[in-house]
Amino acid sequence: MKDLFTIKRGKRLTVENRVKGNRPLVTAGYENTGVAEFIGNEEQEIFPEDTITIDMFANTFYRNYSYSADDNILVLFDKESIPSKAKIFIVSQINKAIQSKFSYGKQYRMGSFEQTKIQLPTKNGKIDFDFMESFIEELEAERIEELEAYLLATGLSNWTLTEKEKMTLEQFESGNFEWGEFRIGDLFEINPTKYYRLKNEEIISENGKVPLISNSSTANGVMGFSNLEPNNKGNSITCSDTTVGADTMYYQEKDFIGYSHIQHLVPKFEPFNKLVASVIISVCRVSTSKKYDYGNKFNRDAMNNTKIQLPTQNNKPDYKFMESFISAIQKIVIKDVVLYADRKINATKEVVQKS
């Protein structure tokens, strides 16, 4: 890689000396592409967009924005101009070459860069940047088509707010609605999920369709998929009873297979759907935050007796308000994604028509 790039190391910036601002601060880590926070420190070097970073754990990212970086970050600059999309291809090859080789015990530093070698396509004995650009463009086109299909399938392609959604947002922003307190046990029937007394490998299949819900706090609690019959009804909520709060509480749209120590929350009310569940799960997580610990876990009794705050009308939960509110928030969040997808799709069509 030293034939392609020169490197510069970021500068250490302690937590105490950080000033809040609008500039991304890149630190070591995979989550959020290593962006820890946004700073305004004027003495901190600003690295330009269209560069690559490698952190101490060998996480490599392409940056299409300017940023600052701490001293665990190496910033890569082109020796000769490399097309942006080719850099994205190069990042994938760097990750492939080094990511599994470095950790806390063996960190990626300047000396590591000097020794790093990657595989790149060539043509007539020279690096084929045109091929890399074309490859990434085709990949982007495929992903945009998949995104469009997903938005259509989920009903998120329409981001225009209805009058009801506008009114709901106005009510929320002005505080022109009532909150009420309710026990989770009054809203849901809570019982352990039904599960197969089999080993995980006997349940999970590569081509399975039925979700297996575990104690995981990621991926909606899904451990894998099975070909066995589901034994718990969907349109409900699951939550592990071995955790310190509602972080493992998820809405399950489809019928599923349960797991040991997973509680099944079946609504006692209508209408219940993903939108209403989103509000209830959010307020449950707020209500249980820092309230439980490993000696006092969020078990079934705790779930039943936990009190949550919900929007109300006539002293009853206002589920229509919740639906409208979450629908509006989804549209606001998805708007830029939909417009981005539309621009990309139209640009692709223009290229095809011209060719």
- Name the residue among 341, 353, 338, 351 with its Cα closest to residue 134: 351
Please name the residues in contact with 55: beta carbons below 8 A apart, sequence gap of 6 or more.
26, 27, 28, 29, 34, 72, 73, 74, 108
Residue range 66-88, pLDDT digits in tens: 999 999 999 999 999 999 999 99
Secondary structure in 3-state letters for 197-210: CCCHHHHECCCCCE
Cα three-residue angle 147-150-152, rounded to 5 degrees: 110
Per-residue pLDDT of 265-292, as tens digits, reads: 999 998 899 999 999 999 999 999 888 8
pTM over 0.95: no
Predicted pLDDT of residue 103: 78
Distance of alpha carbon 20 from alpha carbon 170, whole angstroms: 30
Nearest 5°: the CA angle 342, 344, 347 is: 105
Q: What is the tens place of the pLDDT at every residue in 206-260?
A: 899 999 999 887 889 999 999 999 999 999 999 999 887 888 999 999 999 999 9
Q: What are phi and psi of 190, to 5 degrees?
A: -115, 120
